[in-house]
Amino acid sequence: MNLQVKPWAWLGGIIGVSCAALWQFGAWETLERSAYNTLVRSQDLPIFPEQQWDDRVVVIAIDEPSIETYGRFPWERSYYTDLLTNLSFAPPAAIGFDVIFSEPTEYDAAFAEEMMFGGNVAIAQAIRKNLEPIEVLPAFTEVTKLGHIVARPDPDSIIREGISYIGDFPSLSVAMLEIYRDTLDLTISAPEEELEGIFFDLPNPIAAGKEKLHTLNWKRPSADFPTYSFSDVASGNLDPEIFANKLVLIGITATGFDPLQTPFELTPPSSAVYLHAVMLDNFLTDSFLRRSPQWLTLSGLLLLAPTAMFVLTPLNLRGRLFVLALTFGGWWGICLLSLGYGQWLLPAIAPIGTILLSGMALQFYEQYEKQELMNLFARHVSPEMAEVIWQRKEEIFTKGQLEPQELTATVLFSDIRGFTKISEHFPPNELLPWLNDYLHEMTQCIVSHGGIVDKYIGDGIMAVFGVPFARETEAEIQKDAIQAIASSLEMHKKLKPLNKSLAAKGLPQIEIGVGIHTGKVVAGTVGGQERLSYSVVGDTVNTSSRLESLNKKISEKRSRPYNIVLSAATFDLIQSHYNTDALGKMPIRGRNEPMTLYTVTSPRNQA
């Protein structure tokens, strides 16, 4: 059984596999990162709930005023001791230092004692590229929790993912949350309504050498976190109650130190301490962005391309553009709503790109298919017929070739009387222009009546009426025969001005003979893969050719207004439209019985 696979299925499958492979190998990432920026920034649209940072997260900034107060950074550690002392009057739930303490100083003992007294401090530990940690002073590690401060910016320098664990080593934000959780576990007297919404889930460690990644939800610019100057807090200029039960991050924000680019802050950038603030916020509010599973994305892309092609195939170009625009806008809206209301970061560009590539591939394929189809009929049909052939291509076009068909058609043969003798006395450089002028005029007569020029055979023309689409009614077959007669009469008519022009140039004049027969033909592509042409074959073709060759013999016996010989089969179809004369029965080469033949004298309305 011959099962034909539709182009939308196999071509869509190729596009789907290609787009899924591009996703697998990260080729969509650059565009998806840009989409992430736009989608995240769109959360402040009025249609979405207002996004705010969790008010439990506070930043104490080592900013320009603090550097002016305490001098060049890094500072002596007594300043940090003063800071912790002032904070101890209204203890924060957890304190995180986004500052590296790797070199010993004379102030370490006092600083370590203050951290031990508070029992709520986590400090940063830097990690080398080979994942080896840079050692923190033992005096500090004994009284604090350690957290890494590794950040992995994307190629465009924007941070979109945070790392909660490298193996079993937590980030600074996770270390602070562990302290905060321990503090909450000790809280037994708070009213129940105050405890609602303060509990959160912490991630589990991951295998050694692996990184646990979380897609960050940049709800707002990082500058919107409550931020206070280090010098104001350390000097006691601020009420410590501001920081009571808060998660306090301490890090440098002065220009030129530890920059961080976010979807909201590119130039100038933000500061790295806010990465840990966003991690804290997203953990506390369970608002990290969720991504669809890899297998689901790949499956979706695989199915999306053939589905898109199936929808687009029946539409014209305008309809396709409308559907594409509607699809792009609709999917972008879904991505926006999914992010704004569900914290789902869906692939935005890969599906749109897959649909666009599907539409482009379909358009290019159809253009190629149309070109191949039109190549088979090049200059052989009228523009109107060419358009009809394209619109109905599915009826005849299969696997790059026209499907063989048995059709009822009317075949017309014509040639120039005495062409051999003319060509013998004609210079070659004049013969072909003379012949081409004739063929051009005759071809126009044929195609203007819906015929197809099958081929040129020297000075001869073979034309067919009734292809490439099967005629399903007797009326359609009759119309083809009538059109064939009409074109042959017009060919004779066109010879008069053509011969007048040729005579003025001193060139030979032309007389033609035409043979017409109606019957069964087999139509399809003929030739090898390198060169195909559309043609018809069969007994009807042979008979029509032999009728044409009888014109010379008949003209010698009787005078006729038109050198046209037609079979009884054609006569039966056109007799109500044209006046005819019977030529009698004549033997036809290749046939056992003589055929009754006719000639046309005039249209009925001119009788």
User: Tens digit of pLDDT for each residue in 458-486?
Assistant: 899 999 999 888 888 999 999 999 999 99
Domain end (from 224, 250, 284): 284
Query: 402 and 320: one domain?
Result: no
Asked if 25 and 79 sit in the same domain, the reply is: no
For the record, the structure tokens of 46 come out as 């009025």
What DSSP letter does each residue of 514-571 carry, written as one string?
Answer: EEEEEEEEEEEEEEETTEEEEEEESHHHHHHHHHHHTHHHHHTT---SS-EEEEHHHH
Among residues 331, 350, 371, the one where a domain terminates is 371
On whether residue 41 sits in a domain, the answer given is no
Residues 341 and 395 in one domain: no
- Which domain does 76 fall in, by range? 55-284
What's the average model confidence in pLDDT over 175-204?
Answer: 70
Number of other CB atoms surrounding residue 338 within 10 Å:
18
pLDDT at 457 over 70: yes
> What CATH number is associated with residue 593?
3.30.70.1230
Average pLDDT over residues 304-326: 92
**Average of per-residue pLDDT across 174-192:** 73
pLDDT tens readout for residues 222-266: 999 999 999 999 998 999 999 999 999 999 999 989 899 999 998
CA angle 382, 385, 386 (to 5 degrees): 85
Q: Using alpha carbons only, how large is the chain's radius of gyration in Å?
A: 44
134 or 262, greater pLDDT: 262
Q: Which residues pair with 212 in a beta bridge?
A: 165
User: DSSP E strands: which ranges in 315-404?
Assistant: 344-345, 397-398, 401-402
Q: Which residue has the higher pLDDT, 121 or 404?
A: 121
CA distance 285 to 259: 25
Together in a domain, 124 and 253: yes
* Residue at 39 is within a domain: no
Q: Are residues 172 and 245 both part of a single domain?
A: yes
Residue 138 counted as domain residue: yes
What single DSSP character describes residue 261? Answer: B
pLDDT in tens, 156-168: 999 999 999 999 9
Predicted pLDDT of residue 389: 64
Is 519 a domain residue?
yes
CA quadruple 407, 410, 413, 414: dihedral, nearest 10: -150
Q: Are residues 180 and 313 in the same domain?
A: no
Specify if 339 maps to a domain: yes
**Residue 524: which region, alpha, beta or left (left: phi > 0; alpha: psi -120 to 50)?**
left
Q: Extract the tokens encoding 204.
A: 């589990």
The reported pLDDT for the residue numbered 183 is 76
What is the pLDDT at residue 139? Answer: 87
Do 400 and 463 belong together in one domain? yes
Query: Could you tell me if residue 334 is inside a domain?
Result: yes
Domain count, the chain: 3
Residues 365, 447 within the same domain: no
pLDDT at residue 1 in the model: 38
104 and 181 fall within a common domain? yes
Task: Tell me, yes or no, whether 463 and 504 share the same domain.
Answer: yes
The residues facing 49 across adjacent strands are none
pLDDT in tens, 589-605: 888 889 999 999 999 87
Could you report the per-residue pLDDT of 34-56, keeping only the tens digit for each? Answer: 999 999 999 888 888 888 999 99
Position 2 confidence tier, pLDDT thresholds 50, 70, 90:
very low
Structural domain ending residue among the three candidates 371, 399, 431: 371
Whether the CB-CB separation of 124 and 73 falls below 8 Å is answered with no
Pair 570, 517: CB distance under 8 Å: yes
pLDDT value at residue 607: 47
Which of residues 198 and 302 earns the better pLDDT score?
302
Asked whether residue 110 is domain-assigned, the answer is yes
Residue 88 lies in a domain: yes
Residue-level pLDDT at 135: 84
Average pLDDT over residues 29-33: 94
Looking at the fold, whether 319 and 365 belong to one and the same domain comes out as yes
Q: What is the mean pLDDT of residues 342-351?
A: 94
Same domain, yes or no: 336 and 362: yes
With bands split at pLDDT 50, 70 and 90, how would you rate the model's confidence at 391? Answer: low
As a whole number of angstroms, the distance between CA 48 and CA 97 comes to: 34
Confidence of residue 369 (pLDDT cuts 50, 70, 90): confident
Greater model confidence, 443 or 468: 443
